[in-house]
Amino acid sequence: MIPFRLDASIRTDGSTSRALGDIVETEWSAVHAGSEVTRRHVGTDPVPADSWANAVAASATPESERTAAQVAAVDLAAELTDELAGADALLFAVPLYNFGVSQHFKSYVDLVLTDPRMSPGAVPATLGKPAVLVTVQGGNYSAGTPREGWDHATAWMRRILEDVWQLDLDVVTREFTLVGVNPALDQFTELADELRVRAEDQAGRHGRTLAAVPKAA
């Protein structure tokens, strides 16, 4: 069984999204020991910012007339899609940045959508595959909080992963990751710890569910 993991955190040490992703991966590896994970770190090794524009331009340009940048963008889109198409299970660890989706993850998604196998309207190469989305938030933007509705990332990511790419998706969300970092949030220390434990439990449970899915025929 072949897993795929994408991380979008710009941090290599102390990343809470990576830590939750590690829990999911650990549960998966416990069942599938020895299997190699295909990894894509878009937070530390981002997709070039001009790739999407070049890939779109290439789609309207005869192959013999494409620029080197357009050819490279099309090839990269195919490489990214090959990783998704070749995976039996997928894990996306993507933090909330500035109340919105990570620009690195957005650039990645935009480029993947230029590949004919993943473009809107196509039957996606990811159809029906099991997946877990891990996302983390420095504050708390859930219903009833003062900043309810300030999370402009999770709904978009679910729309892409569930509806456009048609993955069988589970979601793990951890809020208040800046408690202990931002003194203004110190009053929420106890709640933040409860939310951490809950998110870690969810990550473990979804990791076991992911591991139990049989290899695609």
What is the mean pLDDT of the segment spanning 42-63?
97
What is the mean pLDDT of the segment spanning 189-208?
94
Asked whether the beta carbons of 17 and 104 are under 8 A apart, the reply is no
Greatest CA separation for the chain:
62
What is the mean pLDDT of the segment spanning 77-98?
97
The CA distance from 215 to 99, in Å, is 36
Report residue 15 as tokens: 């990343």
Domain extent listing, the chain: 3-46+87-108+124-212
In the chain, the percentage of residues whose pLDDT exceeds 70 is 98
Report residue 11 as tokens: 């941090």
Find the helix packing angle between 51-59 and 103-112, rounded to 10°.
Answer: 20
pLDDT score for 216: 58
pLDDT score for 1: 67
The CA distance from 166 to 146, in Å, is 33
Coil, helix or strand at residue 105: helix
206 has a pLDDT exceeding 70: yes
pTM of the model: 0.93
**CATH for the stretch 3-46+87-108+124-212:** 3.40.50.360
Q: How far apart are the first and last CA of the chain?
A: 11
